């Protein structure tokens, strides 16, 4: 039998081993392949029955660290350009370790005054970082999906109130379908959130004017006019995932102000465009939104998982999420209870990492990082433009470069297959990581730059490796035996 109490002497050794192994992993991120050869086999080989008797913490940790070495995707490293995934700044990673050691429950003052206060302060610092108006407040979440959910719950409450219904008490029965208006840029997670809120995925109206998803502003205006004063939820997108483009938020905010509309902005990574002078204008109008969300584990570079939601009227979050019970803190207690403002009750103290990274690097550090990433995206675009077999498909307003492989003379009808094949080859190769998407009907690459460690050599390697794979593919197609 291995009762943890009997093995309590392992504690110090376990922490020292974990720190040593994790440090080794993290410091090698720069040089290790993003996906080690054989990593998928390691994952597939995991099996075995539940042990009747355990082998203790040191054995378990040694096995886990070995699995990490051979099988972990180095997604927190500088050459991971897939999706939009940030790394972990030293301050936030250290703080995250401390978070687990302290194991605070960031539910209420009663469960942890420290975690509750630091969450309030972190949200306030984030509000200041993004220059949102005084009075905006909110809550940390697991990511942008739950931040969308949280903020849109406040929007749902506002909308139902206009119909004379307390939706948290009564539910949606008897209410009409909620008009939800947006562009083709809406992220699937916002649609998912609307579904979870009972507002219905299929109620989302995408007013788009082209195959890329750009908003049809006239269409939005007509749709709002047609409602004749009935309330609508409008979702503007600050940074879409294929090319980093923005909806015209200021123009949408003008329309929302002239109608009965709740304006929600999904800025999962695009909100960080507010930090750099060259992209600030893209975010104009966000300060007039009713709710704004972003991610912590993307451009803030704090460990998974972390997102945050702000609302103009924070009491709407309390209305949506506070529950009472005799053994719980009173909802009238003036001391902060972040658990009252979001969907989770038992919650990790995510604020420790957020607070630590903002304390460590401040506004100027984050501005410098974002500006560096914007420059790297322009460099990547220039490398694409000068390569004869690559074709850029979109402007680069932010940190994503959307392009495809298009060798001179290649037939249009072969390009999707070629790009899908090369996308898989790039991931398999593992030296750099970038996935494909479909943009304007074309299979394309869309590397995103959000990792604090990424530099010019990483960006250059992405292009060099891809061009090498293109050459190999072309050789193999001339001689299929070489594939």
Ligand X SMILES: Cc1ncc(COP(=O)(O)O)c(C=O)c1O
Task: Rank residues 190 and 256 by Cβ distance to ligand X and give the closer one.
Answer: 190
Task: Rank residues 95 and 193 by Cβ distance to ligand X and give the closer one.
Answer: 193
Q: Please, which of residues 306-365 interact with ligand X by CB under 6 A?
A: 307
Q: Is 265 in the site for ligand X (CB under 6 A)?
A: no
Name the one range near ligand X by CB under 6 A: 93-101, 198-206, 212-220, 264-272.
264-272
Q: How far is CA 110 from CA 121, 337, 362, in A?
A: 17, 8, 30
Question: What is the number of the residue whose Cβ is closest to ligand X?
Answer: 143
250, two tokens:
């200021």
Select from 118, 268, 320, 390 the one that contacts ligand X (CB under 6 A): 268
442, two tokens:
């074309």
Q: Nearest approach, Cβ of 242 to ligand X (angstroms)?
A: 10
Q: Nearest approach, Cβ of 269 to ligand X (angstroms)?
A: 6
Contact, 79 vs 452, CB < 8 A?
no
Q: Is 140 in the site for ligand X (CB under 6 A)?
A: no
Site string for ligand X, 403-442 (x = CB under 6 A): ----------------------------------------
Judged by CB under 6 A, how many residues of this single chain contact ligand X?
14
Contact, 307 vs 294, CB < 8 A?
yes
Task: Rank residues 118 and 144 by Cβ distance to ligand X and give the closer one.
Answer: 144
Q: Nearest approach, Cβ of 131 to ligand X (angstroms)?
A: 20
Q: Nearest approach, Cβ of 196 to ligand X (angstroms)?
A: 12
**Phi, psi at 299, each rounded to 5°:** -80, -15
Select from 247, 266, 290, 458 the one that contacts ligand X (CB under 6 A): 266
Q: Nearest approach, Cβ of 298 to ligand X (angstroms)?
A: 7
Q: Nearest approach, Cβ of 148 to ligand X (angstroms)?
A: 6
Q: Please, which of residues 18-77 interact with ligand X by CB under 6 A?
A: none
Site string for ligand X, 274-313 (x = CB under 6 A): ---------------------x-----------x------
Q: Is 145 in the site for ligand X (CB under 6 A)?
A: yes
Name the one range near ligand X by CB under 6 A: 23-31, 206-214, 261-269, 327-335.
261-269
Quote the CA–CA distance of 399 and 264 in Å, as a whole number: 22
Q: Is 245 in the site for ligand X (CB under 6 A)?
A: no
Report the DSSP beta bridge partners of residue 405.
Answer: 390
Q: Nearest approach, Cβ of 4 to ligand X (angstroms)?
A: 33
Q: Is 397 in the site for ligand X (CB under 6 A)?
A: no
Q: Is 183 in the site for ligand X (CB under 6 A)?
A: no
Those residues whose C-beta lies under 8 Å from the C-beta of residue 448, and which sit 6 or more positions away, are 81, 82, 83, 84, 85, 241, 244, 269, 399, 400
Q: Nearest approach, Cβ of 47 to ligand X (angstroms)?
A: 29
Task: Rank residues 195 and 407 by Cβ distance to ligand X and give the closer one.
Answer: 195
Q: Is 241 in the site for ligand X (CB under 6 A)?
A: yes
Q: Is 182 in the site for ligand X (CB under 6 A)?
A: no
Q: Nearest approach, Cβ of 192 to ligand X (angstroms)?
A: 9
Task: Rank residues 269 and 361 by Cβ distance to ligand X and give the closer one.
Answer: 269
Q: Is 84 in the site for ligand X (CB under 6 A)?
A: yes
Q: Nearest approach, Cβ of 419 to ligand X (angstroms)?
A: 21
Map 206-228 to HEC letters.
ECECCCCCCECHHHHHHHHHHCC
Q: Is 143 in the site for ligand X (CB under 6 A)?
A: yes
Q: Nearest approach, Cβ of 332 to ligand X (angstroms)?
A: 32
Site string for ligand X, 186-225 (x = CB under 6 A): -x-x------------------------------------
Task: Rank residues 213 and 239 by Cβ distance to ligand X and give the closer one.
Answer: 239
Quote the CA–CA distance of 214 and 234 in Å, as a whole number: 15
Q: Is 86 in the site for ligand X (CB under 6 A)?
A: no
Name the one range near ligand X by CB under 6 A: 94-102, 262-270, 434-442, 459-467.
262-270
Contact, 354 vs 305, CB < 8 A?
no
Contact, 30 vs 77, CB < 8 A?
yes
Give residues in contact with ligand X (CB under 6 A): 83-84, 143-145, 187, 189, 239, 241, 266, 268-269, 295, 307
């Amino acid at each position: 039998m291995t009762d943890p109490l009997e093995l309590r002497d392992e504690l110090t050794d376990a922490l020292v081993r974990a720190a040593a192994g994790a440090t080794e992993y993290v410091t090698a991120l720069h040089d290790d392949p993003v996906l080690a050869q054989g990593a998928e086999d390691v994952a597939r080989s995991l099996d075995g029955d539940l042990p009747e008797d355990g082998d203790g913490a040191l054995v378990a940790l040694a096995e886990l660290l070995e699995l990490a070495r051979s099988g972990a995707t180095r997604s927190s490293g500088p050459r991971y350009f897939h999706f939009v995934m940030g790394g972990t700044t030293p301050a936030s990673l250290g703080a995250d370790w401390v978070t687990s050691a302290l194991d605070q429950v960031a539910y209420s003052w009663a469960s942890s005054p420290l975690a509750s206060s630091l969450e309030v302060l972190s949200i306030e610092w984030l509000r200041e970082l993004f220059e949102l108006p005084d009075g905006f407040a909110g809550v940390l979440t697991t990511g942008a999906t739950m931040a969308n959910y949280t903020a849109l719950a406040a929007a749902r409450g506002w909308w139902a109130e206009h119909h004379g219904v307390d939706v948290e008490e009564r539910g949606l029965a008897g209410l009409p379908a909620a008009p939800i208006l947006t562009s083709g840029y809406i992220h699937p997670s916002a649609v998912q959130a609307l579904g979870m809120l009972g507002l219905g995925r299929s109620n989302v109206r995408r007013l788009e004017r082209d195959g890329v998803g750009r908003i049809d502003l006239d269409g939005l205006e007509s749709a709002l006019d047609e409602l004749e004063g009935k309330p609508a939820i409008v979702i503007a997108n600050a940074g879409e995932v294929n090319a980093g483009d923005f909806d015209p938020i200021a123009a949408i905010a003008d329309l929302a102000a002239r109608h009965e509309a709740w304006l929600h902005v999904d800025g999962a990574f695009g909100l960080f465009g507010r930090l750099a002078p060259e992209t600030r204008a893209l975010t104009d109008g966000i300060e007039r939104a009713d709710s704004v969300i972003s991610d912590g584990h993307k451009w803030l570079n704090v460990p998974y998982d972390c997102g945050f939601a702000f609302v103009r009227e924070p009491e709407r979050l309390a209305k949506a999420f506070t529950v009472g019970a005799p053994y719980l803190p009173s909802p009238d207690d003036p001391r902060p209870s972040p658990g009252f403002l979001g969907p989770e009750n038992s919650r990790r103290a995510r604020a420790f990492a957020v607070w630590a990274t903002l304390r460590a690097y401040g506004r100027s550090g984050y501005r410098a990082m974002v500006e560096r990433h914007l420059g790297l995206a322009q460099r990547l675009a220039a490398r694409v433009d000068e390569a004869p077999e690559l074709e850029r498909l979109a402007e680069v307003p932010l940190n994503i470069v959307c392009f495809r492989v298009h060798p001179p003379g290649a037939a249009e009808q072969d390009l999707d297959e070629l790009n899908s094949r090369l996308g898989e080859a790039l991931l398999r190769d593992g030296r750099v990581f970038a996935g494909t998407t479909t943009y304007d009907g074309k299979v394309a690459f869309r590397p995103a730059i959000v990792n604090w460690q990424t530099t010019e050599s990483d960006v250059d390697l992405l292009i060099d490796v891809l061009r090498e794979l293109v050459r190999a593919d072309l050789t193999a197609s001339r001689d299929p035996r070489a594939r």
